[in-house]
Structure 1
Amino acid sequence: MSRTPEETFRRMIDMMLAKDMNAVADLWAPDGIAEFPFAAGSSPRVLNGREEVRAYLVHYPELMDMKEAAALTVRPTDQADTVVVEWTATGRTVATSRPYRLDYIVVLTVRDGLITLYRDYWSPLSAAAAAGDPAGLIDSLERKESQ
């Protein structure tokens, strides 16, 4: 069954809320790409292929307990296979049990119901703060600069 980009994105959110990271990774085409243009420190900027996405996501539920995708807005583009999604994830950080709220903008391209390009614009500082580790991000940035 071929899903639209919006249907694929909403399915991804449903699987993230269910903590089924294998199902999330299965939404990627075998050669699909995930890009994180604002990634910093030790965070990857590009994941090539479904299996790299799977490896990246495997421990996510142990770090972040996403409870809701709030304020989800899907904006069509002039290309039928691509949408821009503005959304907010809320939940709690597993290590600290503190609540978090993270805002994202995603450019999503889908072919035959599978993700071929997922370009995720998020704030590394906000994500590190939500994970309870802004010092770790700063340390990783300083190590990267000194190399």
Structure 2
Amino acid sequence: MSKSTDQFPSLSTLLRQALGEALAPDADTLLEMCAEDVVFEFPYHPPGFTERLEGRAALETYLPTVSKLISIESMTLKHAFISGEGDTAAIEFSCKGHSPDTGARYDQDYISIIELKNGRISRYRDYWNPLVVLSALESAPSAVKH
């Protein structure tokens, strides 16, 4: 496998910290951590945002779009729970960042459910607050109308 550029090195580091030996030892970047047929799901996506990605190629195309919207400053692992079989994990983490376009803060909490097969992520369900994304991109409607 050729080494790919890591769009989100802080996420890769966090996943390695959370999943440890459950991940294949040669998987350094997020893409390398994923199976070819990986499925990413975003159950709380706002309207018009991506709901589901199928396959590593789709993820590779998607990641640069996200990195243009949000600049990640740090990610902090809070909890990691791995099943006894080592094939499913639940992780809780936080992210600090901002929108390069607006300068608005992007400080988000996540819960991710991760399924693994042969040391690679086969399914990743990402739960986060869509209002935080919309606020950072200045797309959120104002709660107060004048």
Structural mapping, 1:11-90, within 5 Å = 12-14=11-13, 23-90=29-96
Q: Shift in Å at residue 11 of structure 1?
A: 7.5
Number of aligned residues? 120
- Aligned-residue CA RMSD (Å): 2.3
Which TM-score applies when normalising by structure 2? 0.71
Q: Distance in 2 between matches of 1:56 and 1:50?
A: 10
SS, match of residue 26 in structure 1: helix
2:135 paired with 1:103: no
- Counterpart of 1:91 in 2: which secondary structure? strand
Whole-Å separation in 2 of the counterparts to 1:67 and 1:92: 8
Identical-pair percentage: 25
Which whole-Å deviations, capped at 9, do the CAs of 1:61-80 have from their partners, x for residues lacking one? 22111011124311123442
CA contact (8 A) 1:95 1:132 kept: no
Bigger RCO of structures 1 and 2 (CA < 8 A, at least 6 apart): 1
Q: TM-score if structure 1 supplies the norm length?
A: 0.71
Alpha carbons 1:27, 1:115 under 8 Å: kept: yes
Q: Distance in 2 between matches of 1:117 and 1:47?
A: 10
User: Residue in 1 aligned with 2:129?
Assistant: 123
Query: Match of 1:93?
Result: 99
The structure-2 alpha-carbon separation of the partners of 1:76 and 1:12, relative to structure 1 and needing over 3 Å to count, comes to same
CA distance in 2 between partners of 1:27 and 1:127 (Å): 25
Question: Who is 1:6 aligned against?
Answer: none
Q: Which runs of 5+ in 1 are unaligned?
A: 1-9, 17-22, 136-147
- Structure with bigger helix share is 1
